[in-house]
Amino acid sequence: MDDKFVFPEIDEVGIENLDAISFAPNFNRYMFQTIEPFCKGKILEIGSGTANISKHFIENKSQIHLSDIRDNYIETLKSEYPQLRDSIHKLNLVDPNFDDLYRNHFETYDSIFALNVVEHIKEDALAIANAKKLLKSNGKLIILVPAYQILYNSFDTALEHFRRYTRKSLSSIIAPELSIVHTQYFNVFGILGWFVSGKLLKKKTIPRNQMELYDKLILLSKTLDKIVFNKIGLSVIVVGRKA
């Protein structure tokens, strides 16, 4: 696993994967439904990308702000959601000048969520500490990341993931900053596809046809998550509250 990824200004692999995931609307809604109970009040999404998840908050008329580190995603979001132009921000959680650049966002949000973002950040503990600064008192931070280092494969390398997590390892970087209020795994069914495509077939992007097939089987995915009580999954979720 390479720990010196080069940050591309245009994330071509990420764009291709986000496009494939956009063809799985049932999966995206399932992820939204999983985190939505923890997202109240004024909400900020870290790493909105092409808004596969945040569009559900927008449809629900939630008070949501979007953000990303890349200009092309920012411009796409502003074009797609012109009514939110003033609520779309360029944001880098580990910018060396974070306090000066984003002080006007400090203690602003009731909820912050980052889905498949923290694994891209080498200084993950710093990212969590800076996210805390943006939360109001009693605000919640919802983090979803890939689970289990043993599943690290060609997908992770192509997507520039520094690591994968467990409930324990993710909680360990959140707990020094926030009180842990919820942990779970998510999407046990996805482990098979991730292993076959990324580990055995060495693919670098998520096949669109695989996502479309998975999307048709979303009821099975939800059922399997319930059967295993969310104690295993392709992703792990931890929610922390600012004291």
Q: What is the pLDDT at residue 17?
A: 66
Q: Give, to the nearest 10 degrees, the angle between helix 167-174 and helix 124-134.
A: 50
Report percent pLDDT > 90 for the chain: 80
Q: What is the DSSP letter of 70?
A: -
* Mean pLDDT, range 104-113, rounded to an integer: 98
Q: What is the pLDDT at residue 16?
A: 74
Q: What is the pLDDT at residue 65?
A: 98
Q: Which of 181, 225, 215 is nearest to 37 (CA)?
A: 181
* Alpha-carbon separation of residue 165 from 41, 44, 148 (angstroms): 28, 23, 5
Mean residue pLDDT of the chain comes to 92
Q: What is the pLDDT at residue 22?
A: 82
Of residues 154 and 1, the one with the higher pLDDT is 154
Q: Residue holding tokens 């998840």? A: 53
* Alpha-carbon separation of residue 31 from 91, 124, 175 (angstroms): 23, 22, 23
Q: What is the pLDDT at residue 158?
A: 87
Q: What is the DSSP letter of 140?
A: E
* Mean pLDDT, range 136-141, rounded to an integer: 98
Q: What is the DSSP letter of 196?
A: I
Task: Report all structural domains of the chain as residue ranges with CATH numbers, in order of start.
Answer: 12-241 (3.40.50.150)
Whether the CB-CB separation of 44 and 117 falls below 8 Å is answered with: no
Q: Which of 107, 51, 43 is nearest to 79 (CA)?
A: 51
Q: What is the pLDDT at residue 167?
A: 98
Report percent pLDDT > 70 for the chain: 93
Q: What is the pLDDT at residue 19?
A: 76
Q: Which of 13, 124, 114, 133 is nearest to 68 (CA)?
A: 114
For 192-208, the pLDDT digits (tens) are 989 888 888 788 777 78
| Residue 113 pLDDT grade (very low, low, confident, very high; cuts 50, 70, 90) | very high
* Mean pLDDT, range 53-68, rounded to an integer: 97
Q: What is the pLDDT at residue 1?
A: 42
Task: Tell me how far apart the alpha carbons of residues 121 and 127 are, in angstroms, rounded to a whole number.
Answer: 8
For 14-45, the pLDDT digits (tens) are 667 677 788 789 999 999 999 999 999 999 99
- Does the predicted TM-score (pTM) go above 0.85? yes
Contacts of 34 (CB under 8 A, 6+ apart): 186, 237
* Mean pLDDT, range 226-235, rounded to an integer: 98
Q: Which of 142, 195, 150, 148 is nearest to 169 (CA)?
A: 148
Determine how many CB atoms are found less than 10 A away from the CB of residue 228. Answer: 12
